[in-house]
Amino acid sequence: MLKAALGGLYVRQAGSAVRRALAFRRNGDPNAILDIGTGSGCWIIDMAKQYPHAEAVGMDLVPPNFVLPPPDNTRFECDDANHGLSQYFPESFDVVHSRCITMGITDYRGLLREAYNVLRPGGVLLTVDCDMIVYNENQETFPDANEGEPRRSPGAKAYLDTSKWIKEMGETDCPWDERGERVVWVPLGPWTKELEGDRVNRREFIAAQLIQEDFAGIGRTLRPVLVASGNPEETVDRWIREQEAEVREMKVKIYMKVSNIVSLHPLRYALT
């Protein structure tokens, strides 16, 4: 879904920086890419295919389930990012990527510092997160529910502070060379006028459909976590039924906000 929404493996504004970071090295050292919280592994596999000369590393708590063997320049490691990235040598990666992992990270600001340490000079940090708050058709937040919100993990809203933290790090001991942020609004289902009729943007239409399917099943996926957090099972099941019905029927027009932050490890060139 995010690949369709972003128009590629990362936002267009990051393209030149990523290509420079992953250009062949004159000293013969291999380029390297790290995907933190790799999940299905699809992002790091696509990057491995696009940059076959680079070592592509996917890290997560469990290994992906592959339909086809991954490229030879790809490897997957089982590890918990909450324990940091000290297993990797400093300045050992040219690109570090994380996507939709803040809810599972207890100290996301600390993880950003770890990412800085493992990036080579001129390396690129790519962070992508979907806002777990839904927005109305005017891209405004809905009023809070009367019965309150489910309990949240410590990192549930960390993405809101990511840009600020990176800026503050740049003023202390982690001087990021340049930062850029781009927000992409994706409708939850093909309900917008731009996605109706014959002349529609096919990529945006597919992204809207995919995020609708993802959201329709997110309640069932999160059920064990919601129950384990102390919410009554009957309440959780009601949340799930109501949430799925709203997503399928599209009676409420909803946008999802995808935040993309690009940060460069110090080297003298500009992000275009």
Q: Give the DSSP per-residue string, 29-85.
A: PPEEEEEET-TTSHHHHHHHHH-TTEEEEEEESS----SSPPPTTEEEEE--GGG-S
- Helices then strands, counting H and E runs in the chain, come out as 8, 7
Q: Which residue has better confidence, 20 or 158?
A: 20
Question: How many angstroms separate the CA atoms of 121 and 21, rounded?
Answer: 9
pTM: 0.74
- Evaluate whether 225 touches 236 at the Cβ level (below 8 Å): no
Q: Over the stretch 41-95, which tens digit does the pLDDT of each residue have?
A: 999 999 999 999 999 999 999 888 888 899 999 999 999 999 999 999 989 999 9
**Count of positions (residues) in the chain:** 272
Give the residue-averaged pLDDT of 125-135: 80
Answer whether 108's CB lies under 8 Å from 78's CB: no
Question: To which residue do tokens 């993880």 refer?
Answer: 111
Secondary-structure percent of the chain, ordered helix, strand, coil, rounded to 5: 35, 20, 40
pLDDT at 214 over 60: yes
Q: Which residues contact 235 (CB under 8 A, 6 or more apart)?
A: none
Residue-averaged pLDDT of the chain: 81
The predicted-structure confidence for 88-120, as pLDDT tens digits, reads as follows: 998 999 999 998 888 788 898 899 999 999 999
Report the share of the chain in percent with pLDDT over 90: 32
pLDDT at 150: 47
Which token pair is 164? 């600020």
Burial class (CB in 10 A: 0-12, 13-18, 19+), 127: buried
Contact 263, 176 (CB under 8 A): yes
Contact 155/161 with Cβ under 8 angstroms? no
Choice among 8-22, 107-121, 191-205, 253-267 with the minimum mean pLDDT: 191-205
Nearest to 99 by CA among 13, 159, 170: 159
CA-based nearest residue to 159, from 101, 117, 221, 215: 101
143 vs 160: CA distance, rounded Å? 18
